[in-house]
Amino acid sequence: MGVRSPLPRFVAYYAALFAAFGAASPFLPGLLQESGLGSGELGVVLASGTAVRLLTGPLGARIADRTGRAPIVLSCLTAAAALIATAYAPARGLFLLIAVSVAHAAVLAPLTPIADALTIQASGRGRVFRYGWVRGAGSAAFIAGTLAAGQMVGWAGLGVIVWLNAGLLAVAACFGWLLRGQAGPVASAPVVGQAGSIAELLRVPVFVRMMAVAALIGGSHAMHDGFGVIRWRAAGLSPGECSVLWSMSVAAEVGVFLSLGPWLLDRFGIRAAVLVAASAGIVRWATTALTSSFAAMALVEPLHGLTFALLHLACMEVIAGVVPGRIAATAQAFYATVVMGLTGVLLTLVSGPLYGQFGATSFWAMAGMCGLALPVARGLQSRAASDQLESRRDAN
């Protein structure tokens, strides 16, 4: 690899960003409760942040596309996120915490879509380096951030996560500034507004099909994310065992991002990879519906590497292959916020009543969603068709 490879800069940005996510995500609800919120108010604050992400994710990515200066937009938004994060420390009361949560979520939402678009462009669609290497480093850093935050919370209390999160975001902003030599998506023709860009995306059949598959397989995680640990604890698993299972799933994600996923895509193509992800989801959720023994969960939790990471890599391949560069960040934001984000929110809302009524058997619904993805996935390109598509894209 040449000394001028942008890979180290992308790895550094993703590592700092995802370490910041890992430091804050598990402990933010506890911090908000410590700030005086009840359970109902906590839900309102978290939901407010989620809702604004659905709007600002595509908007921020669209700004990056239109200006053609995505690295600068990325760095500025990351710096703003670091600054706003510090407001959690003095904030007290429902309305002030909602304001901080909304402002923070607004600038965080576009970061990953813009970074993903830049990474895929800089990678030369796998000829310079692999996107999975960068995202895998981010996932590993997420684990490290969570572990570090856990130790620091034990020493100094929950308030320390505000400064750890803000500090890591500030470091990420500096690394983002170093990416400014990487040209962002540059419009080759005047681009109409956000609605026009999304309409253009929806006229690409392969993109639409891939997004449908992502909504089904990715959305199937909603029950697990909301009620997986509750299911395990109700079955008698200790907090330590639950932590081990969760860590196993993230470790498998890292392995797929770094090695197995790129190999599967290179060897068998997008369609086969997505069929593997859907099949793994059927096995994972069916097993979870039938048992919650530690041994069984230890066997199926690593399938997260296939149901999430392999699916994500396949989505990146499709976006890189069929979406015009001038709207690449918009496509990433549509995938992250509308397909995965909105679908996840809606299915989480459905999962609550479903789990309350049917308990563990409700995981069969998640297995069914993965089953529905199989016929949709069969319409994706074969390996040969994907290669031909990339060749045509390279010629343009």
The pLDDT value given to residue 165: 96
Q: CA 184 to CA 201: how far, in whole Å?
A: 18
Q: Which helix (H) or strand (E) holds 261?
A: helix 261-290
Q: Is 38 buried (19+), middle (13-18) or exposed (0-12) by CB count in 10 A?
A: exposed
Is pLDDT above 70 for 186? no
For the chain, domains (ranges, CATH) are 1-181 (1.20.1250.20), 193-396 (1.20.1250.20)
Residues in the chain: 396
State the pLDDT confidence band at 382, using cuts at 50, 70 and 90.
Answer: low
Q: Where are the beta strands (DSSP E) in the chain?
A: none
Q: Does 183 or 243 have the greater pLDDT score?
A: 243
The pLDDT value given to residue 201: 85
Compute the average pLDDT of residues 154-168: 91
State the pLDDT confidence band at 216, using cuts at 50, 70 and 90.
Answer: very high
Q: What is the pLDDT of residues 298-342, one digit of tens each?
A: 999 999 999 999 999 999 999 888 888 778 878 888 898 878 888
Output the CA angle 343-349-355, nearest 5 degrees: 120
